[in-house]
Amino acid sequence: MLKNNIKLIHFVLLISLLNFLFFHFPFFSFVFENVDYKSISGIFLIISLIILMLVANAFAFYLFYFLSRYVGKFLLVITFIISSIAVYFINTYSVIIDESMIGNVLNTNYSESSTFFSFKLVLYVLLLGILPSIYIIKAKVTTVPLKKFFITISLTLLFMLTMVFVNASNWLWIDKNSKTLGGLAMPWSYSVNISLFYIHKSQKNQKEILLPNATIKDNKKSVVVLVIGESVRRANFSLYGYKKDTNPLLSKIPNVHHFNANSNATYTTAGVKSILEYKDTGDLYEILPNYLDRNNVEVIWRTTNWGEPPVHIKNYQDRAFLVPKCKGEGCSYDEVLLTDLNGQILASKKNKILIVLHTSTSHGPTYSKKYPLQFEKFKPVCNSVELGKCSQTELMNAYDNTIVYTDYILSKVIEDLKQLKDYNSAMIFVSDHGESLGEKNLYMHGLPLSMAPKEQYEIPFIVWSSDDSKQLKPNKTLSQHNVFHSVLNFLNVQSPIYDENMNIFK
């Protein structure tokens, strides 16, 4: 084979096969341990992963080699050598090559790294790295016409996309195990995670672009509680016409208004950012809590979740901070966010207060674990993390119970605010994104917005305000960006970037 010319497509398929055989035993060991390989769906998933692994790697190798024969061969050699080292550490120390592990590797000095040297490591590098590299360097690969190149990559991309979508029922399992799978797939584990490490490192060092200074225009005591929902879709709220009574409390409270809204993303980090930023710029501008805190508003952030942009305030309170001060069964759930809420408001020496409660109640796949037992209004429920194994009724019941619990939490917030007679008060509830519950064989969320079903972006936007405070405009469809300007208006904070068209209050 070294003496004769080899076609590029045959070459990359052979290299992909060697990559598969040499470096993916840990990957598929994990798959077999966590998949029912005796079931039809399990067999289909395993076969699909094998095919996708071979084709995706061959595709990448094909692309690199076509763009530059010498650079392509160099990258292949580097790939095999690094992969041989990586799989040595995986097999020997049971590590996962994720972003944190990349950080450990890149921050290790020579004296520490040299302690890992062993004869076994030399054998791995020699047999799995250097020997195939010799073949890669010496192989005589024929060139490919440009037209054939584009036809090949187009058909390959189409094939991979088809394989992905026919496995829609397995997306949840892949998403649930994505960190481990990604940390065991060669060469993607280290190549992707090295990139992510440096991207996130640069973001940590990146400073927010400050917004222009704001001015508080009166001394009237005002408080806004912004509740950020997690994976809450509008369709399952009886306030919006859902046939099951998932809002037994909110439906009876005066001054509760609900509006149609769409999220700007289908995943948490982007969705929360949209709720907190003044408009969609693509840049890292100062977010609402940081902006108000800098301009003399009391800001309190309470969270049982994650994924928010950097929050630079003194009163950042997570579950670990709140639990010791909480009493009762609800402390294991999102009720912990309500711990002594009024006490903290009354203790403030400032007249303007924003409280953000970042919840996690409707986050899948374990919906039935996100609420106390007394809120299990609809039965039977899905208790499996493999949502495709549950009936549609069980899955919907479990999710609907999270909405019933959310209804309770929001009603508790309103009841607390009603007790603050000296304050103008408001509660705004908006979700980061929606959720798929088996429609079109899709589960949870995260599809690109351009192709996501409505269940993943149609969200609730619910507002309550106290009797003597501001009334609401006759709004129709809102967006997450309405939050920033509406909070400024309610607290009577004047700012050059305030947009009256984005304010929901009269």
Is residue 413 a contact partner of residue 225, using CB atoms and an 8 Å limit? yes
d(CA 474, CA 497): 23
Give pLDDT, residue 111: 42
229-502 classified as CATH 3.50.50.60: no
Give pLDDT, residue 108: 53
Distances in Å between the alpha carbon of 130 and those of 22, 113, 180, 361? 12, 21, 27, 51
Between β-strands 436-437 and 493-494, what pairing exists: parallel, antiparallel or unpaired?
unpaired
**Cα–Cα nearest to 71, from 81, 61, 80:** 61
Provide the pLDDT confidence category of residue 205 given band limits of 50, 70 and 90: low
Provide CB contacts within 8 A for 168, sequence distance 6+.
440, 441, 442
Provide the pLDDT confidence category of residue 37 given band limits of 50, 70 and 90: confident
Give pLDDT, residue 64: 83
User: What average pLDDT does this structure show over 148-174?
Assistant: 82
Provide the pLDDT confidence category of residue 317 given band limits of 50, 70 and 90: very high
Is residue 156 a contact partner of residue 66, using CB atoms and an 8 Å limit? no
Q: Which of 142-156, 200-214, 245-259, 427-441 has the lowest mean pLDDT?
A: 200-214
**Cα–Cα nearest to 234, from 321, 102, 362, 326:** 362
**Residue environment code for 259-291, b if the CB has 16+ CB neighbours within 10 A, otherwise e:** bebbbbbbbbebbbbbbbbbeeeeeebbbbbbb
Strands of 424-431's sheet in order across? 315-318, 298-303, 352-358, 222-229, 424-431, 458-465, 256-262, 477-479
**Whether pLDDT at 28 is above 80:** yes
d(CA 104, CA 120): 22
Burial of 160 (0-12, 13-18, 19+ CB in 10 A): middle
**Cα–Cα nearest to 247, from 256, 255, 238:** 238
User: What average pLDDT does this structure show over 83-89?
Assistant: 86
**Percent over 90 (pLDDT), the chain:** 47
Which backbone phi and psi does 178 adopt, to 5 degrees?
-60, -35
Provide the pLDDT confidence category of residue 372 given band limits of 50, 70 and 90: very high
Give pLDDT, residue 352: 96
Which backbone phi and psi does 253 adopt, to 5 degrees?
-95, 125
**Whether pLDDT at 112 is above 50:** no
User: What average pLDDT does this structure show over 54-74?
Assistant: 84
Give pLDDT, residue 424: 94
Give pLDDT, residue 249: 97
d(CA 206, CA 447): 28
Q: Which of 2-11, 63-72, 196-205, 469-478 has the lowest mean pLDDT?
A: 196-205
- Which two structure tokens, joined as six digits, stand for 20? 């598969």
- Which two structure tokens, joined as six digits, stand for 153? 């990559």
335 or 197, which is more confident: 335
**Cα–Cα nearest to 479, from 233, 229, 266, 260:** 260
Give pLDDT, residue 147: 85
**Whether pLDDT at 74 is above 60:** yes
User: What average pLDDT does this structure show over 76-87?
Assistant: 90
Is residue 359 a contact partner of residue 336, using CB atoms and an 8 Å limit? no
> 277-303 pLDDT, tens per residue?
999 887 788 999 999 999 999 999 999
Domain regions of the chain by residue span: 8-205, 229-502
Give pLDDT, residue 189: 84
> 411-442 pLDDT, tens per residue?
999 999 999 999 999 999 999 999 999 888 77
d(CA 373, CA 368): 9
Provide the pLDDT confidence category of residue 109 given band limits of 50, 70 and 90: very low
Distances in Å between the alpha carbon of 396 and those of 103, 163, 176, 252, 414? 41, 28, 20, 24, 27
Q: What's the N-to-C CA distance of the chain in angstroms?
A: 78
Provide the pLDDT confidence category of residue 107 given band limits of 50, 70 and 90: low
**Whether pLDDT at 29 is above 50:** yes
d(CA 97, CA 114): 19
